[in-house]
């Protein structure tokens, strides 16, 4: 088990990065055998009793919860290095469902054993608190804007956040990444309808911002996409050159500017769940 931990690709990332080499035997001793969950399967379900905490070793998952009206809200997309299962409701049940988007490999650890290890190794406790806080802040940034942002702004924030995470794990200068998510999942994460997500993605592609199809995201103009998402991109590489944008804008004179509809504050955004008006504000009744 020690050699397995030493050779693990997460050894220098996530929570495992805070474990010193001499502490690996004790760290490995609290782990249970690695689990594999096939794509579409659930690691645990909302309301389950669960005494395990999991480190995602490989694959993608999503955390979601069901509202009383039967609609699902995607809370978080989980990637390698993430710690899941630590949060519990006051009665000890799991507050969300975690299901595998791809084949998922996780390292399970009993919660009591992990807490005892953290008491003995404060660096691990501090690292875990830092990771959980960062994930919480990221969730707030995405979920907190659902009632105040347009559809394009919500989608831009979500896709840009996932794009940046993928860049960190691969290469900082890539423009194309694979995201194992669908338009339905984007809708569940942004509070929009799938129809409105589809329409907005087409408009963003026409505007030369991004292209998303079949789980493949290509960022065409990261500077303007970051402006639309109102996210800090100070540490990101320079945006693609204008000549790299292969999809033209609807009006060539508008190149370099965001469409006006992408700047409007959200009042009662069409396509949001609960809205009875499904037409986009920019579309006339004759469209």
CATH number at residue 246: 1.10.10.10
Q: Is residue 91 part of a domain?
A: yes
In a shared domain, residues 223 and 251:
yes
Distance CA 97, CA 84 (A): 11
In a shared domain, residues 195 and 108:
no
Q: Is residue 273 part of a domain?
A: no
Tell me what the pLDDT averaged over the chain comes to.
79
CATH number at residue 28: 2.60.120.10
In a shared domain, residues 10 and 119:
yes
Q: Is residue 229 part of a domain?
A: yes
Tell me the pLDDT band of 104, cut-offs 50, 70 and 90: very high
Tell me the pLDDT band of 10, cut-offs 50, 70 and 90: confident
In a shared domain, residues 26 and 114:
yes
Q: Is residue 276 part of a domain?
A: no
Tell me the pLDDT band of 132, cut-offs 50, 70 and 90: confident
Distance CA 271, CA 276 (A): 8
Q: Is residue 282 part of a domain?
A: no
Question: Rounded to two decimals, what is the model's pTM?
Answer: 0.76
Give the domain extent around 70. 2-143
Q: Is residue 283 part of a domain?
A: no
Alpha helices in the chain (DSSP H): 2-7, 24-29, 111-120, 122-143, 151-169, 183-190, 194-206, 222-229
Model pLDDT for residues 44-56, shown as the tens digit of each residue:
999 998 899 999 9
Reading the block at residue 216, the tokens are 């493949």
Tell me the pLDDT band of 232, cut-offs 50, 70 and 90: low
In a shared domain, residues 16 and 119:
yes
Closest CA to 34 of 17, 18, 14, 57: 57
pLDDT at 230: 84
Model pLDDT for residues 70-80, shown as the tens digit of each residue:
889 999 999 98
In a shared domain, residues 66 and 164:
no
In a shared domain, residues 213 and 258:
yes
Distance CA 269, CA 276 (A): 10
In a shared domain, residues 180 and 102:
no
Higher pLDDT, 278 or 14: 14
Distance CA 146, CA 177 (A): 25
| Count of domains for the chain | 2
């Amino acid at each position: 088990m020690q050699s397995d931990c030493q050779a693990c690709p997460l050894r220098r990332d996530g929570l495992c990065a805070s474990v010193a080499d001499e502490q690996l035997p004790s760290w490995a001793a609290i782990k249970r055998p690695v689990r594999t969950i096939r794509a579409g399967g659930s690691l645990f379900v909302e309301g389950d009793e669960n005494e395990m905490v999991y480190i995602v070793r490989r694959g993608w998952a999503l955390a979601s919860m069901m509202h009383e009206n039967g609609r699902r809200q995607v809370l978080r997309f989980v990637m390698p290095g993430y710690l899941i299962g630590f949060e519990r409701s006051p009665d000890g049940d799991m507050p969300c469902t975690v299901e595998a988007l791809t084949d998922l490999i996780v390292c399970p650890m009993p919660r009591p054993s992990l807490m005892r290890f953290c008491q003995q190794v404060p660096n691990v406790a501090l690292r875990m608190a830092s990771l959980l806080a960062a994930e919480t802040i990221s969730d707030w940034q995405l979920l907190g804007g659902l009632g105040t942002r347009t559809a394009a702004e919500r989608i831009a924030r979500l896709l840009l956040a996932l794009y940046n995470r993928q860049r960190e794990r691969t290469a900082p200068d890539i423009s194309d990444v694979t995201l194992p998510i669908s338009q339905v999942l984007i809708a569940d994460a942004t509070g929009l309808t799938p129809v409105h997500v589809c329409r907005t993605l087409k408009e963003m592609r026409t505007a030369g911002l991004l292209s998303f199809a079949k789980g493949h995201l290509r960022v065409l103009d990261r500077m303007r996409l970051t402006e639309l998402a109102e996210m800090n991109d100070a540490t990101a590489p320079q945006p693609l050159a204008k000549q790299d944008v292969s999809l033209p804008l609807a009006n060539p004179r508008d190149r370099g500017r965001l469409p006006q509809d992408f700047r409007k504050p959200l009042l009662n955004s069409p396509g949001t769940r609960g809205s009875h008006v499904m037409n986009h504000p920019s579309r006339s009744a004759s469209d």
